[in-house]
Amino acid sequence: MSFPHATLAVKLTEAYDNGIMLTMSTLKKSASEFHHGDLQAALVMAGLRHVEKHGLNSLGLRQLALVTGVSPTAVYRHFVDLEHLKASVAKASREVLGTMMLDAMESASKAKGAKAANERFRAMGSAYIDFGLKKPNLFEIAFICFDAPRLEEDSPNPWELLMSSLTELNELGCISDKNFKTAPMIAWSMVHGFAALAAQGVTGTAQETQASKNDILAAVKKALDIKVI
C-alpha cells in the first residue's frame, strides 16, 4: 500500500509492531493537522498488521484506536462501523496478495514469448499459494464479503493479474479460444482451493506441501491445456 505521507503510517505501524502507545503529542501534531487520507490509510495498515498477527475475531474499532493512540471518535470518522473497517482490511489483504503475485511474475521472467509467459503464469499461481501458507490470517479475511460502503478497486488486483496473464497466453496461442472462456474460473478455483487447505495447515509437512503445490500447478496447466509453442 502507498501513503501520501509515509511518515505517519510508518510511525503508527512501527509503534504497533513494538507494542508502543503512540499519541498525537508523540507525533508532535494534533489530530486536526493530519490529512484525512493519511490517518485512514494508517488505521487500515494497523488493522492489517493486527489481523496478520492475531486473526480477524479480535479486530475492533476501539481496540484499533487504543493501539494507534487516536481517539475512538477519530476512528469513527473514517469507518462507519466494524464491517467497514473489516472490508478495508480485506481490501488491503487482497492488495498484499496482488503484490506478491506481481512480484513473482516479474521475478520469473521479463522476456517475451510463450515460454516466458508460461513461467509468469506458474509463478503467479505459486505466489497465490504462498500467500495462504505464509499469511493465513490475511488469506482468511481477503475474500470475505462484508456489508460495507463500496471501496476503491484493489491495486494491484489479483483477478486482473490472472486475466492479464491468461490473455497473454491466449494471444500467444498457448490457450485456445475455447479453453480461454473457462480458464479464469478453473485456474482460480484450483489454486484457491489448495491455498485454502494450505492456510489451514492440513496439507502435510513442508516437503509434502511443496510437492502437492507443484502437482496442483501442473494440474492447472493440464486442465487449461496450455501449450508452450
What is the distance between the alpha carbons of residues 61 and 42, in angstroms, rounded to a whole number?
13
Share of residues in the chain with pLDDT > 70 (%): 84
Domain extent listing, the chain = 6-79, 93-223
Give tens-digit pLDDT for 131-151: 999 999 999 999 999 988 888
* 189-214 per-position pLDDT tens digit: 999 999 999 999 999 999 999 999 99
Cα–Cα distance between 212 and 195 in angstroms, integer?
A: 11
Cα angle at 22 between 61 and 11, to 5 degrees? 100
Tell me how far apart the alpha carbons of residues 40 and 46 are, in angstroms, rounded to a whole number: 10
pLDDT of residue 18: 53
- Given a cut of 70, whether residue 169 has pLDDT beyond it is yes
48, 138 Cβ separation under 8 angstroms: yes
Architecture of the CATH domain 93-223 = Orthogonal Bundle (1.10)
Is the whole model's pTM more than 0.85, yes or no?
no
Of the candidates 183, 194, 193, 174, the one whose C-alpha atom is nearest the C-alpha of residue 223 is 183
User: Which residue matches cell numbers 489483504?
Assistant: 93
